[in-house]
Structure 1
Amino acid sequence: MVKQYILNEKLYNTGNYKETEKRYQKLIISSVKEKNYNIAALSYNIIGRIYLNKGNYERARNYFEKGLELGKKSKQKSGAGINQGFIGSIYHDLESDDSRKYITDAISLVKESEDDIFKDLVLGHLYTKLGFSTIHHKDSITMRLDYLFTALDYYKKIPKKYFNNNRYFSQTYTNIAMLEYKVKPADTVISHLKKAGYYNKYAETPYIFGFIGTELARNYLRKKDYDSAIYYGNIALKYLSIGTHKQKILETYQYLSYAYENTKQHEQAQQYYIKFKNNEDQINKDKLKSFVQIYKENSTKKDKENFREQIINFFFYFLSALLIIFFILRKKADKISVASGNEVKIEKEVSESTSIPGNKIEEAISYETESQILKRLDKFEDKLHFLQKGITQGKLAAQVDTNVRYLSIVIKKYKAENFNAYLNTLRIKYIIGKLKNDKEYRRYKVRCLADECGYFTVASFTKIFGEITGYTPSAYIAFLNDSDL
């Protein structure tokens, strides 16, 4: 069964997730039948990782919990430990402070394992997870790097009879480079990434080349070597597309957009920026959905009160991330800049753009005209004119000194699906901020809230509020009040 597990994992590394899941499901059935609970638990972990890579946190966690439950039945604790560690990793991604404890407890559990060929491998994985956990300490980067080098030491111990060490060396040097980005010169980081690439040539793990390519692109941006950044960014996308690594693909879109912008290739920069925003929004929505589901499942546990505080903070963090893109405009559309301290960031936010076949815009508008319309929309938002009742697309077009057709194209390209979606998002974001920050607003009747943000009827306000937040206004207010207890 060990041999079959390892063969299946090789298939997983090729990115053939559908067949991988099918084979591991069969292995789970046979492993449980023979009471080899550790192999069954490890198999559940791989299936969970498949869904984690896809951004389906809820389903991933379900598989990790099944693996943890089965793994506890075995004297070999690597299966239980790896699943507990990945549950901790999910909590980290969802901004929960519980993540670190899950991982450290998992490490303690695995260290007690008996006659376990997976022990050192799993400890390497867990120390890697610990290296990317939240550490509130002034020397947090140094501490994280220490954890990654500890992971490397464990990977050196794994039996070569069963495992390809080169793959784990490659992964670890890539992870080290990701952390060193914040504290080491670009050339030092690039040297570690090339070392990772050397090991991966013998590891037969395509997606790791994708991770390496993304990090090389990021570091060549630091050196202002934009051509190299474009080269490695495109290599990264080629390999990342083999599997489903949404977060890394997202980062790569961001770096490519910036690199193309700085080589005056504005059309390509715009295309990658739109891809970046669309993917970022979807990832945030998936996280929010998963966090709400996890909260519901944990609502009967002793730590309910702590969890309430976490969900409210997470809710606003991601809801704001999804909605703020409709507010901030840029002097130059699609321009991305490198922030101080060599961090790449988005200089100005644009919003979700509807996908158009071939990335063609419905009608050509000059770059200067687009910029002028965006600037005027900025004033429209800053002055809260969207709260006016009876505002129409025609009236807004007149306010920003353009025609309805041009306004529609700009909104669809940079703001929202259409004018109504744009206006509704501005209004609901406004009232959410009032409800969160001013408790007096929570005492208002729903019809007063509707009137405050520009709606003629309670019914239309309630319907739109629910579509955007997932709550009715009354339920949302109750949720806020309950969270304050």
Structure 2
Amino acid sequence: MTKNFYYLLLLILTISCTNPTEKQKLAEESFQKKEIAVLDQLEFSGNPQLIIKTAEESKRYAKKINYDYGIFKCNMSLIFAFNASGKYKEATLIGKENDALVGKIKADYIVCLNYTNIASAYSYLGLLDEAENYLNKALAYNEKLKNDDDKYYSLAGIYSGFAFVEGMRGESPNLIKVQKSYLKQLSALQQVGENNKKIAQKKNAQLSMLYLNLGITSSELKNPQEAKSYFQKSLSICKKYKFANNNTPLFVHTEIARLFLDQKNYDSCIVYAQKGIMLEKKGHFPEIRRDLFEILYRSNSKKGNHQDSEKYTNLYMKLNDSLTNAQKRGINTPVKVIMEKKEKEKNSTVKNVIIISAIISFVLLLCGWLFWKTKNKKLQKDYQKLIERSKFNNQNTGISAENNSTSVAANALLEKLNNFEKSKEFTRKNISLTSIADQLETAPDSLSDTIQQYKQKTFNNYINDLRIEHVVYLLYSNPKIRIYKEDELAKNIGFTSKTEFASAFKKTTGIPLSYFIKKLESESK
């Protein structure tokens, strides 16, 4: 009995005297093998909510054992998941937590990628100065890296971030700066080795998207031959590596078709657009499909293929109406898994997982670029429609009095409205329904009903639209008018303030007044 008591006492003393440092080491190793390994696997699940839940639970345990690296890694998973689900503000808050831990983490590569991902969140929030600040922090840590593949691969992601930030600056970004950042990204990627098959796959997946972005930028810079060359390089890489769940070929075919349309090479345009339609069926990009329908109806119309033109016009209008009426979907929804599921390896290193995270972050940046490009093209399209209308319609918007479906009284009033529109009297200030009714010798109710029935507008919208169409024509036809300030223009056409004028201009035309004037100025140079 006494002997057993001594053995028990010795066991207790042995346990209590165990080296605390060794205990901490064992706890940290266990955390890496279990919690961090699970989070690494979940990054490929396409389920941001599950990642958030798991990361928060693991983070609580990491705090309990005082494991700073574990907290940092859990935060990186949270930033990734918040970015993927469009919760950018939450991502920046977690990023600030990691800022406080950076000095305790001896892993320059991971810190570099952490800052790149935080910059992505700030970019989507439109806080471009903050995004650029974090990219510069990432750049500083990148300079410390010794491993060439780590160094140049993460450097490519940083320059991609700089290109995205520059592309988001204003309605007319400096495309030369955007292109320079992409070329720096290209230079970095070209220095990543290809001895490792996995690294070669990841490098070329990013490279194919980079050539797509370079092609888009060259096209915007009016360099079609360079753009075509970049697009072909992107397709060549996709064909060689056959990336899983890669939509880059769809984007490339769409851009090449648009390029050929601009060059009036309608046969080649139709070939690439139809191939794009086939590729779109494998995914779900209704906005891209709508663009392809538009390209096909325009190219077939130019070729005189009226039957095909009508077919694609109907498809375009139907899809466009559907997208317009549907609830708008943010482009920053969770990104689909773009690479093959990572092979399960008991002894997989953090390094490979972080590289793949960088690729997913890059795809988010690509999506943001495509969002900016789609928005910019819509503004350009609305602008062209406005210009075409101004060329052929100098305020002759009235309805002819010779309308058999209306009464004599209505025809007479419509004829008076025509004369009113031609006289430009709608530019008078303090104009009202009663004053115009008195001028046209009719009752206010009768005038209001006629405008509602035949113009399909309220009286105020009718007057504002006439004023906007008039100022559009003046700005387009007379460059001297463009030197006037907005408040002067507003007063000259009857608005009480430049705020009211700018709001009415955007509502009627679909584009901002400042954008319209800048486009006119740039095209007149």
TM-score by length of 1: 0.52
- Distance change (3 Å), C-alpha of 1:254 and 1:106: farther
Does 1:64 find its partner at 2:122?
A: no
Measured in 1, the distance between the counterparts of 2:326 and 2:384 equals: 15
Deviation per residue, 1:195-249 (Å, 9 max, x gap)? 2422551x2123333323322322343443231242134245435526x9x6x67
Measured in 2, the distance between the counterparts of 1:237 and 1:425 equals: 41
- Distance change (3 Å), C-alpha of 1:39 and 1:142: same
Task: Answer yes or no: is the 8 Å Cα contact 1:120–1:157 preserved in 2.
Answer: no
- Distance change (3 Å), C-alpha of 1:194 and 1:112: same
Q: Which of these residues, 138, 143, 152, is aligned with residue 189 of structure 2?
A: 152
Measured in 1, the distance between the counterparts of 2:199 and 2:234 equals: 26
Task: Answer yes or no: is the 8 Å Cα contact 1:130–1:147 preserved in 2.
Answer: no
Aligned partner of 1:124: which letter? Answer: A
Does 1:259 find its partner at 2:302?
A: no
Shift of 1:151: 4.4
Does 1:268 find its partner at 2:312?
A: yes
Measured in 2, the distance between the counterparts of 1:380 and 1:5 equals: 67
Measured in 1, the distance between the counterparts of 2:384 and 2:175 equals: 35
Aligned partner of 1:208: which letter? Answer: T
Structure 1 residue matching 2:190: 3-state secondary structure: helix
Which aligned pairs between 1:391-470 and structure 2 lie closer than 5 A? 404=453, 408=456, 423=462, 426=465, 437=485, 452-453=494-495
Counterpart for residue 229 of structure 2 = 188
Counterpart for residue 52 of structure 2 = 25
Measured in 1, the distance between the counterparts of 2:134 and 2:164 equals: 13
- Distance change (3 Å), C-alpha of 1:227 and 1:101: same
Shift of 1:37: 1.6
Task: Answer yes or no: is the 8 Å Cα contact 1:42–1:67 preserved in 2.
Answer: no
Task: Answer yes or no: is the 8 Å Cα contact 2:48–2:82 preserved in 1.
Answer: yes
Larger relative contact order (Cα-Cα within 8 Å, sequence gap ≥ 6): 2
Measured in 1, the distance between the counterparts of 2:54 and 2:151 equals: 20
- Distance change (3 Å), C-alpha of 1:79 and 1:140: closer
- Distance change (3 Å), C-alpha of 1:99 and 1:85: closer
Which aligned pairs between 1:331-410 and structure 2 lie closer than 5 A? 383=424, 385=426, 389-390=432-433, 404=453, 408=456
Aligned partner of 2:236: which letter? Answer: K
Does 1:89 find its partner at 2:123?
A: yes
Counterpart for residue 214 of structure 2 = 176
Deviation per residue, 1:404-441 (Å, 9 max, x gap)? 47x54xxxxxxxxx6679548748979x99xx945689
Q: Which of these residues, 238, 250, 253, is aligned with residue 197 of structure 1?
A: 238
Structure 2 residue matching 1:206: 3-state secondary structure: coil
Counterpart for residue 135 of structure 2 = 103
Structure 2 residue matching 1:241: 3-state secondary structure: coil
Counterpart for residue 241 of structure 1 = 284
Shift of 1:98: 6.4
Q: Which of these residues, 76, 79, 102, is aligned with residue 44 of structure 1?
A: 79
Measured in 1, the distance between the counterparts of 2:295 and 2:279 equals: 11
Does 1:167 find its partner at 2:213?
A: no
TM-score by length of 2: 0.48
- Distance change (3 Å), C-alpha of 1:269 and 1:198: same
Structure 1 or 2, whichever has the larger Rg, is 2
Deviation per residue, 1:356-387 (Å, 9 max, x gap)? xxxxxxxxxxxxxxxxxxxx99x969958487
Task: Answer yes or no: is the 8 Å Cα contact 1:106–1:126 preserved in 2.
Answer: yes
Shift of 1:329: 6.8
Measured in 2, the distance between the counterparts of 1:382 and 1:30 equals: 72
Counterpart for residue 161 of structure 2 = 129
Aligned partner of 2:386: which letter? Answer: I
Structure 1 residue matching 2:386: 3-state secondary structure: coil
Structure 2 residue matching 1:150: 3-state secondary structure: helix
Measured in 2, the distance between the counterparts of 1:277 and 1:95 equals: 33
- In structure 1, the gaps of 5 or more residues are 13-19, 52-58, 288-316, 333-346, 349-375, 409-417, 443-448, 455-460, 470-485
Q: Which of these residues, 93, 96, 114, is aligned with residue 80 of structure 1?
A: 114
Shift of 1:62: 0.9
Does 1:328 find its partner at 2:386?
A: yes
Task: Report the more deviating stretch, 276-285 or 222-231.
Answer: 276-285
Task: Answer yes or no: is the 8 Å Cα contact 1:128–1:148 preserved in 2.
Answer: yes
Measured in 2, the distance between the counterparts of 1:154 and 1:453 equals: 59
Aligned partner of 1:179: which letter? Answer: T
Measured in 1, the distance between the counterparts of 2:152 and 2:233 equals: 23
Measured in 1, the distance between the counterparts of 2:280 and 2:290 equals: 10
- In structure 2, the gaps of 5 or more residues are 1-34, 63-69, 168-172, 332-374, 394-416, 437-443, 473-483, 509-525
Task: Report the more deviating stretch, 129-138 or 30-39.
Answer: 129-138
Q: How many equivalent pairs are there?
A: 349
Q: CA RMSD in A?
A: 6.0
Measured in 2, the distance between the counterparts of 1:180 and 1:9 equals: 34
Task: Answer yes or no: is the 8 Å Cα contact 2:294–2:316 preserved in 1.
Answer: yes
Aligned partner of 1:194: which letter? Answer: L
